[in-house]
Chain A
Amino acid sequence: MGKLHKAIIIVLLMVSVNTIAQEYKFGKVSKAELIEKSYPLDSSANAAVLYENKKVYYNFNQQNGFQLITEVFKRIKLYNKNGSDHATEEIFLYKYGGNKEKVSGLKGVTYSYVGDKIIETKLKKDGIFKNEYTENRDQIKFTMPSLQDGSVIEFKYKITSPFVYSIDRIYLQNIIPINKLEVQIKMPEYFNFKKLTSGYLPINLKESSAQDVINLTSKSRSSGVSTQGRNTKYSNSKVDYRININTINSSNIPAFKYEPYSGNIQNYISSINYELSYVKYPNEPADYRSSTWEDVSKTIYENSSFGDELKRNNYYKEDIDKLVSTVSSELDKTVIIYDYLKKKMSWNSRRGVFTNAGTKKAYKENTGSVAEINLMLTSMLVYAGIDANPVICSTSDKVISLFPTIDGFNYVISRVKLADGSLIYLDATDKHGVPNVLPDRIIKGMGRVVAKNGTSQMVDFRPVKPSVKAYRMQCEIDEEGVAKGKLSVSYKDYLAHNYRVLNSAKDDASKAERFEKKYGITELDEYTVKGIKEYGKGVNEKFNFTIEDQIEAIDDEIFFSPLLFLRDKENIFKSDDRKYPIDFGYGFSNKYMVNIKIPEGYEVVECPKTSAFKLPDNMGKFTFRSNVSNGVIQIVVDETVTSPVIPANYYPTIKEFYNQVVKKENEQVVLKKI
């Protein structure tokens, strides 16, 4: 015990000695940093951030009021040539309505260790480029000169912004490791921000405060009775105020690595976002942006590009009256209005919770943003007497907002509550959508249904029920090993939606070609597809096939996997481990029913046995049933993953599950000549 204590103390001492020993000042790069050959904690890193310092604070001057300042200082080690991508920095500067962000104090130095000397090369003007990227964004780009393997680069700059309410998202992780990171955010008491974090790494945030003073000079002119004429007086006043300070100091931050099937990676990289909650100047009432969910609802409804849009009905009244006047059922009304709008409106790919040009104009032009289309939809439903509310959403590629904020949302859909309590989610921007089947861009996101009275409630869009894809195959095989037969594939729910999104604009020949390509089918004919336009129903494809390479005849025996080309040939999960959950968006079920007639004069000597296995917690299952009678092999297989999201700690389990699936489906039938 005693020994262990000592060891811990020594380790602690060493750690603290280490952190004290290294001070990071611009221009003070050490020889040790320059000669380091690889990053000690991750030898695969091509580059590492040795030190990053970010200071975000406010300056006050009487002319401009508050200004938001961001100071950045980075020291990056480039271990080899592949790290040189990190020697280029790109800064975007926002500009709007005459106000623009500016960069100043940009300095950069490359350090290399050559012979026995440290060589410094300064970043000069010819390495800094400015470009008007779009009408609202300028771009500054620079790349560091004279890089060699092992070089250390340093740069610093300052951004001055008049847009005081928007602090950019601060990343606390990078695609290369970070050795030491220091972030400080200082906010005057007048601005109250909500913090929104993402990622799996712990964020060590400390809060403190300090006092500061604003000096105001006011000028007053006295005119009037004085014979000396006009007189200008200057007076000074002082305003004391508090500054709230957030500090994040961390070290040894591992590189962020992308993994396949990750869903929304923005949720997995470590970051912090500050969103303005309210502004309160002395002796003035607070101007709330958001703080509780009630505030969020209130703010949104009070915004004319949301609340007023829901109320407005004059522009569609006549059309909707005509559509639903003779319809009485709530469900029918809902579907009729939704279908009408889905057909009429085209989405212009714009996201956001608030309308741009407004619903009325959008309705006239048949195109609009998501807010225009779905607020219009909600408004129409309410007008028709349906209990409908808007659902504000964060899309699949955005950080999910767990705290009350407005910025956390970038999309809006509609929710209907029927008299029996059942719920219907609707998104009229999706041409292939149906009630309760939402597009990919939203399915992995999150939503909050907001009511006019201020109540709101979190909703998850991922469906409870897995979507089904069912294969039915009837085929005959001959002695040569050629299989001929019919295949029918039907798609339901989300899988039907996915099919429509991917294939509905293709002609039949291209649709059939998918199968030829995927399965290596030799001859494919009589291809038909049904149900593409029949939204709410499934899609079904059918064709006849001849395939030559699925069956092996060796001596007087014939071998094949009974699912033939439909079997899973490889495990989609190949990586040894994984840090993020697997997000499929929706659960799914692949069902196979296969009947194979064997050639005359042969008998079945081996056939894969019936078996079944499951994933834990009812996340999925696999069943395989086989039966042989009268020269026909019948196989029924069900592969189901019920859970749309599988936590990372189950990765080895699901990988093994798929291994077993592949193994089972590759088991062989053996036929022998009688």
Chain B
Amino acid sequence: MLKRIQLVLVALFLCVYTRISGQEDFSLQSILIDSLLTENANAIVRSEDIVIQINSINSVTIKTKRVVTVLNKYGNRHADSYEPYDPQTNIKRVRATVFDVLGKEVKEFRKKDFSDRSMYDGFSLIGDNRFIYFEYTPVDYPYTMVYESEVETKNSAFIEPWFPITNYNLSVENASYKVINLKKIPLRTKEKAFVGYPIEILKGDHEISYILSKVPALNKEHQSPPFSELVPSGKITLGNFSLVNIEGVADDWKTMGKWQYQNLVSGRDELPDEVIKKMSELVEGADSKKEKTKRIYEYVQNKTRYISVQLGIGGWMPMKASDVDRLGYGDCKALTNYTKALLESQNIPSFYTIVYGDSRRRDIDDDFASMQGNHVILNVPNEEEDIWLECTSQTAPFNFIGDFTDDRNVLVIKPEGGEIKRTKKYKPEENTLHTTATIFLQEDASMVAEVVSESKGLQYDWRYLTKLKPVKDQKLYFKEYWSYINNLNVLSLDLIDDKDHVTYQEKVKVNATNYATKVGTRLLITPNVFNRVIRKKPKYKDRKTALVISRGYVDSDEYIIKLPAGYIINKLPEGKVFETDFGVYSCSVSKVDQSTLKYIRELRINDGRYPKEQYEAYRQFMSKIQKADKTKIVLKQQ
């Protein structure tokens, strides 16, 4: 991962402060607050004032003052209590003061009261990001925290963006953001989602400011667009900047990409001769560029593992290919650059590609060239198609990026400059799960079944990692997956991962003692044994946001159900077909012979973004499926 993640964290959670007014301020009381701001809110940003002064490309001062009233325990995380820093950043001043409901000062934290520790980002072996923090135990709610700080950073490649609304259930009374560009360094801005918010924009000769007031708290809604698209943000980037003491220039993606290529990527791909020789041997006999690339990719998967070390410029620059070769590990930058070098040695050109890696899709902003992304993959152009390689995975099939980096704008860094491309989209018909089963029902209400499912595309991605778990956990996986079947026993399993065809097959034999319900001389059974929609979608009286179905898929099921001796079905249920914009569902039961039934089900879900008015129709569609999936049939004893 790139260091960028931490900077996003900074942008989202940090609060930096400036002027300190010693007097008790009427605005610090929290008895009289507009109900518009308290509704649905766990905390209220009473005021946030950020002043960013660009002194030069090697010095940016950020002064922040943020006043937050916390209404309940869920709001505590919005009251700032820490300040991140790194070797490029100097915390000049920091102070926090807590006020009670009446606006009376309760406690003060000065810099000496802050503790200092290393930041653990959850995946890096080591990094040089740190933070200072204090611990405050709220005595009562509501309370108000005034947090002020002043920091200076030598990095001007990232200018802290304006994110006045950082979360759901957080309202904002006042927020302001001002950039003072002392040296009039050329800069570009991008305002996103300002429409519908009361924002005042002031742009002067060397100053930019945004002011926002009175925004009520938002509630999170199921399957809504990403939060960052719902709230306003302002981004600023400099035409000339500095990143860990390397100076840069960028006006557009072409120049930005060129600068990144020249300063961060190029010249780090030298390999020892014996490695090049080994590669030549490896690709010998391969008849296409694609086959050669595949062999080299699999070589890298086998040889390396993901270890992230983020120190200094190492947060942005890949480790040398020769070091990766010797150590056998690296982070996304290092492993991508290493693969690129190995391909290069066989005259296969490939490009270092910056992306936002997240299953919740996020684009590199195609019209705002700046330092972006949190992950790196490799792009290998192959005639008309693009091959995408996820070099940090030891398990992903060749040219399979899955939902972590699919279908989004990425920055491909070429020697001549940067280029925005879109990664592969997995269409619904590519993401298939085909399940067949033979189910033997017994007179004692139990059943035994043999199930075979085959998954492809993203459904492969969502399932294949189970194979890597110990058998006990694999069994538990199926018990959870079919958790609606009481007392399910997994008798045997055989999992086959065909990476060449990106197909995953699960052959499972199960039984369950009470699958059917015995009622007098009848047996009640649900013919949809192995693929049910279980969860209901929440209902909203007044849905506020669009509906997002992020990935489409197609499930098809075909079960043969053998009835116990002496039982028959009188009347077959009617087949069902539901057709909507969101997808199509059908299911039916038919008689093969007197003692055999056949259940067929097909569900196609279409990905897409739908207007908020359509959410209710989607909810009803899913609810109808959920009901149809658990419909029972009655078997009668003859």
Interface residues of A (CB under 8 A from B): 44, 81-82, 84, 88, 121, 126-127, 129, 131-135, 139, 141, 143, 145-149, 346-349, 365-367, 505, 507, 513, 516-517, 520, 522, 548-549, 552, 554-555, 557, 559, 569-571, 574-576, 605-606, 659, 662-663, 666-668, 670
Contact = CB atoms under 8 A, between A and B. Distances in A.
Contact of A81 (B115, B139, B394, B631): B394
B479 interface: yes
A366 B139 contact: yes
28 contacts: A81-B394, A81-B395, A82-B468, A88-B307, A121-B328, A132-B116, A133-B118, A134-B115, A134-B118, A139-B118, A145-B326, A145-B329, A148-B328, A347-B137, A349-B135, A505-B72, A549-B630, A554-B634, A555-B571, A555-B634, A559-B634, A574-B476, A575-B472, A575-B476, A663-B487, A666-B486, A666-B517, A668-B519
Interface residues of B, number: 62
A126 B323 contact: yes
B293 to A, nearest CB: 21
Given A505-B73, A570-B484, A575-B476, A549 B573 contact: no
Contacts of B323: 126
Interface in B514-545: 514, 517, 519-520, 522, 524, 535-536, 538-539
B540 to A, nearest CB: 11
B632 interface: yes
Nearest to A663: B514
A522 to B, nearest CB: 8
Contacts of B520: 605-606, 670
A570 B309 contact: no
A466 to B, nearest CB: 24
B126 A141 contact: yes
A51 to B, nearest CB: 23
A348 B135 contact: yes
Nearest to A139: B118
Nearest to B475: A576
B40 to A, nearest CB: 8
B327 A146 contact: yes
B577 interface: no
Nearest to B485: A570
Given A549-B626, A662-B487, A663-B486, A131 B126 contact: yes
Interface string B391-409: 0001100000000000000
Interface string B570-586: 11010000000000000
B633 interface: yes
Given A348-B137, A367-B137, 13 more contacts: A81-B305, A81-B395, A133-B118, A145-B327, A146-B326, A347-B137, A517-B538, A549-B626, A555-B634, A570-B484, A576-B472, A663-B486, A668-B524
Contacts of A365: 107
A366 B517 CA distance: 59
A549 B476 contact: no
B272 to A, nearest CB: 14
Contacts of B608: none
A624 to B, nearest CB: 15
Contacts of B631: 552
A606 B524 CA distance: 13
A670 B137 contact: no
B487 A88 contact: no
Nearest to B486: A662
B632 to A, nearest CB: 5
Contacts of A126: 323, 327
A88 B306 CA distance: 12
B561 to A, nearest CB: 16
Interface in B100-133: 107, 115-118, 125-126
B138 interface: yes
Contact of B627 (A348, A505, A507, A548): A548
A234 B274 CA distance: 64
A559 B328 contact: no
B471 interface: yes
Contact of B117 (A134, A145, A659, A662): A134
B303 interface: yes
A121 B326 CA distance: 9
Nearest to B471: A44
A135 B305 contact: no
B402 to A, nearest CB: 17
Given A81-B305, A349-B137, A571-B487, A559 B519 contact: yes
Contacts of B326: 121, 145-146
A88 B302 CA distance: 18
Nearest to B141: A505
Contacts of A559: 519, 524, 632, 634
B200 interface: no
B207 interface: no
Nearest to A548: B627
B285 interface: no
Main secondary structure on A side of the interface with B: mixed
Chain A CB count within 10 A is highest, among B303, B486, B538, for B486
Nearest to A523: B539
B125 A141 contact: yes
Contacts of B29: none
Nearest to A524: B539
B204 interface: no
Contacts of B115: 134-135
B517 A606 contact: no
A131 B634 CA distance: 67
A609 to B, nearest CB: 12
Contacts of B135: 348-349
B72 A143 contact: no
A569 B484 contact: yes
B24 interface: no
Contacts of A552: 631-632
* 4 pairs of A and B residues whose beta carbons are closest in the complex: A44-B470, A348-B137, A146-B328, A129-B126
Nearest to B520: A606
B74 interface: yes
Contact of B137 (A84, A131, A148, A346): A346
Contacts of A134: 115-118
A147 B471 CA distance: 25
B539 A516 contact: yes
Contact of A147 (B328, B475, B632): B328
Interface string B599-636: 00000000000000000000000010011001111100
Contacts of B89: none
A663 to B, nearest CB: 5
A467 to B, nearest CB: 24
A145 B328 contact: yes
B480 interface: yes
A81 B486 CA distance: 35
B513 interface: yes
A50 B74 CA distance: 47
B309 A549 contact: no
Contacts of B228: none
Contacts of A347: 137
A504 to B, nearest CB: 9
A505 B76 CA distance: 12
A365 B520 CA distance: 70
A156 B328 CA distance: 21
Contacts of B539: 516, 522
A143 to B, nearest CB: 5
A570 B139 contact: no
A557 B634 contact: yes
A552 B627 CA distance: 10
A148 B630 CA distance: 48
Contacts of A517: 536, 538
B308 to A, nearest CB: 10
A606 B521 CA distance: 10
A129 B309 contact: yes
Contacts of A149: 302
Contacts of A520: 535-536, 626
B125 A129 contact: yes
Nearest to B71: A505
